[in-house]
Structure 1
């Protein structure tokens, strides 16, 4: 869990973020944006100290999620959506994403570790909404579970997760 804590607290320097931004913008200008360079930039942004960068990274991750049909890749994007939301302190949203992954993959250690760290931070911060999140999460998982099993990790599932 210590590595997850360190990762959540790791912040990229503004210079590093600008380097990734320049590469992404150059690819965008040349109409050569790939999912790989878009993801690299999004992952960089969610590790920024600036909330506006984190929000921009989450937006790119949602675009990537919506643009892929691969359930495995969708799961990765959901993980990083959880990660970015945890970085913003949006713990309830992060837990919804993580619970969706763990519903399908109960043995996913990466999602378990992040969920444990998010829960620890909620407890540390005296997060009142935790009980609400747990109850809503139980109801949500029942509804999302049908969507996830019926059609993979669909855009409808992620829309439900964001509510």
Structure 2
């Protein structure tokens, strides 16, 4: 489980993204782009701090997924699509990708672990979000009560 947390929180340095981008663009320019070049660049991008990089990485992964008939490759692409969406806090989308893996491979520990971690984060962030909403609601009610009391005293 700790490994999954580290994977979700791993951030690639901008220099590494540039290095992979250069390899990807050079191969594309020479019309020698392979699925491995594309995947390496996409995987690098989904670990970026920059959301637009993550989204571009997801786009490349989707293209790879759509372009292969290899079931093992499809499973890997689905996993990294889930990872990238989770990094964008698009948890429901991430869970759909993981459920697709688990439908075919119910014993896939990697997908199970990522699903558990995403569910844990959803729960934690949901409670945090609810706590903020409850706190804001309490402040509003308290403010309205104080205003009403002030009016009654006049």
Name the SS of the counterpart of 1:125 in structure 2. Answer: helix
Structure 1 position 103 matched with structure 2 position 103: yes
Task: Output one character per residue of 1:97-151: Cα deviation in whole Å (capped at 9) or x when no partner.
Answer: 10111111110000000000100100110179xxxxxxxxxxxxxxxxxxxxxxx
In structure 2, relative to structure 1, the CA distance for the partners of 1:54 and 1:95 (3 Å cut) is same
Q: TM-score, normalised by structure 1?
A: 0.77
Q: Which has the larger radius of gyration?
A: 2
Q: How many residues in Structure 1 have an aligned counterpart in Structure 2?
A: 128
Partner of 2:48: 48
Give the RMSD, CA atoms, in angstroms.
Answer: 1.2
CA distance in 1, matches of 2:127, 2:59: 26
- Once the two structures are TM-superposed, the CA of residue 12 in structure 1 deviates from its matched residue by 0.4
Q: Distance in 1 between matches of 2:32 and 2:48?
A: 24
1:60-108 per-residue CA deviation (whole Å, 9 max, x = no partner) reads 0011011101112111111110010001000000001101111111100
Q: 2:15 is matched with which residue? A: 15
| Corresponding residue SS for 1:99 | helix
TM-score by length of 2: 0.81
Unpaired runs of at least 5, structure 2: 129-154
Answering whether residue 90 of structure 2 is matched by residue 120 of structure 1, we say no
Give the equivalent residue in structure 2 for 1:90: 90
Residue 58 of structure 2 corresponds to 58
